[in-house]
Structure 1
Amino acid sequence: MSWQCALTAQKTNSILSCIKRSVASRSREVILPLYSALVRTHLEYCLPLWSAQHRKDMDLLQQVQRRATTMIRGLEHLSYEDRLRELGLFSLEKRRLQGDLIAAFQYLKGTYRKDGERLFIRECSDRMRSDSFKLKERRFRLAIRKKFFTERVVRHWNRLLREVVDAPSLEVFKARLDGDLSNLV
């Protein structure tokens, strides 16, 4: 387990304890904005920097989100997946994938297009969808390469629907991607 992950989980759990002790109402309208702000400041800030690769790290961070969703009155009896679906949230693993796909969109079609031309190899084939944004999966001897951003995002990018990939702007892409990811459950 990495020390960054343990420290992040510890800080976030202590803040959740403070919220639980100090907030009188446990309604969705009160807890969810507090949790969203907490995730933005702690969990999502740390995830892209070192991208938890080990299952223990991901489970530890996921446990923080489990704890926060059980704080909401009326959802305690539901399973974790049902609580996430009810709140319109994604698991941290799916959130990481969402962030990776948004970054890939920016490299391929958006702000960082010039840099994206060097990062990704496009694949042209008659068997694939007819857009020019199909990426080539490369093979490597070492499994460690699969964890690099440019490699872990390719398979998921190629599985996206054409309507999602052909989005005219980043906002439209994010909205379509949310719909596509919510179907994955």
Structure 2
Amino acid sequence: MSLLQYDLDRVTQWSIRNNMSLHGDKFEFMSHIANRSNTLHQLPFTCEVYQYTTSKGILMPVDQLRDLGVTVTADLSWTTQIKAMANKARQKAAWVLSVFHTRNPTIMLTLYKSMVRSLLEYCCPLWNPRKVSEIQELERVQKTFTARIEGVQHLNYWERLEKLSIMSLQRRRERYILLHMWKILNKAVSNDLKIQFVLRPRTGYKAVVPPLRGGATTYHQSLYDNSFAVSGPRLWNCLPVSLNKIKEFDSFKRQLSSMLQRIPDKPPVPGYSCPNNNSLLQWKMDLTTLELWGGQDS
């Protein structure tokens, strides 16, 4: 705590020396709860332990805050972010459908991809959901919009995806994660999470999944599974050697999309009997689709 206060004081002093005025009213402080079984944080006097001072007064802990357009909560849940995005996308979709009366597939898909889907995918590798309810919350937006497109109204959602040649939002999020993993491997972006790769003669580049300490609680197991440092390497290790050794980004992107189009895409939606959770990790385990990965073990 004293180190953070020291850093705040240094930032304030630096701004004064450089004739800069900080917006102290915009400073926010959040404390993440590492041990949920400890009820001490719920007591009224506990917040006094976590007080920090700025030029505008005392900072008190908040339950959630927005950072670069993403809502982060103290319990490290993405539910608030996902609901806000889904609501915003639904409003935009309603506006598009009311303003543009055509239901031509080309026009409708162009409008959807540029004005609606983009809202649902901002920073998605960070908050990629694992809860079925949250996956359905996002998928429902695309399901409702595509049901209005001319010529596919009679098809169910899975059939519409195939007919319109579009991926589910769930599949696209995993695709974005794989693209970012390629960039980390090939040093196109910074490797802030220190993800490691090993080169094996038979399987190519494989990512190292960081271990979870023994005796971890269910809560920490969930955080571990949901983190990019774990989900990213696990998804990357699903790729065949023919893809994970590609050094040119456009070629990797093109061949990845081609491979994903050959894998069944049946996201969980209400009223549908899903064969699995539709993640690439699950399809990889399905022996009937093993040939899509060149018949190789991960």
Tell me the TM-score normalized by structure 1: 0.86
Q: 116, 120, 124: which is aligned to 1:43?
A: 120
Q: Residues 95 and 109 of structure 1: is their aligned pair in 2 closer, same or farther, counting only changes over 3 Å?
A: same
Structure number, greater radius of gyration: 2
3-state SS of 1:11 partner: helix
Alignment coverage as a number of residue pairs: 180
CA distance in 2, matches of 1:9, 1:165: 33
> Deviation of residue 45 (structure 1)?
1.3
Higher relative contact order (CA 8 A, sep 6+): 1
> Deviation of residue 52 (structure 1)?
2.9
> Deviation of residue 153 (structure 1)?
1.8
Which structure features the higher share of strand residues?
2
CA distance in 1, matches of 2:199, 2:171: 28
CA distance in 1, matches of 2:88, 2:238: 36
Tell me the TM-score normalized by structure 2: 0.55
> Deviation of residue 23 (structure 1)?
1.6
Matched, 1:177 2:273: no
Alignment of structure 1 residues 1-185 onto 2, 5 Å: 2-45=79-122, 47-112=124-189, 115=191, 119-123=194-198, 128-129=202-203, 131=204, 133-140=205-212, 141=214, 142=216, 143=221, 144-185=223-264
Q: Residues 170 and 39 of structure 1: is their aligned pair in 2 closer, same or farther, counting only changes over 3 Å?
A: farther
3-state SS of 1:119 partner: coil
> Deviation of residue 108 (structure 1)?
0.2
Q: Which runs of 4+ in 1 moved over 3 A?
A: 123-126
Encode CA deviations 1:131-184: one digit per residue, 9 max, x unaligned.
Answer: 2x1123343144121211121122221121222112231111110110111122
Which structure features the higher share of helix residues?
1
Q: CA RMSD in A?
A: 2.2
Runs of 5+ in structure 2 lacking a partner?
Answer: 1-77, 265-298
> Deviation of residue 40 (structure 1)?
4.8
**C-alpha contact (below 8 Å) 2:85/2:120 kept by paired residues:** yes
Runs of 5+ in structure 1 lacking a partner?
Answer: none
> Deviation of residue 95 (structure 1)?
0.8
3-state SS of 1:77 partner: coil
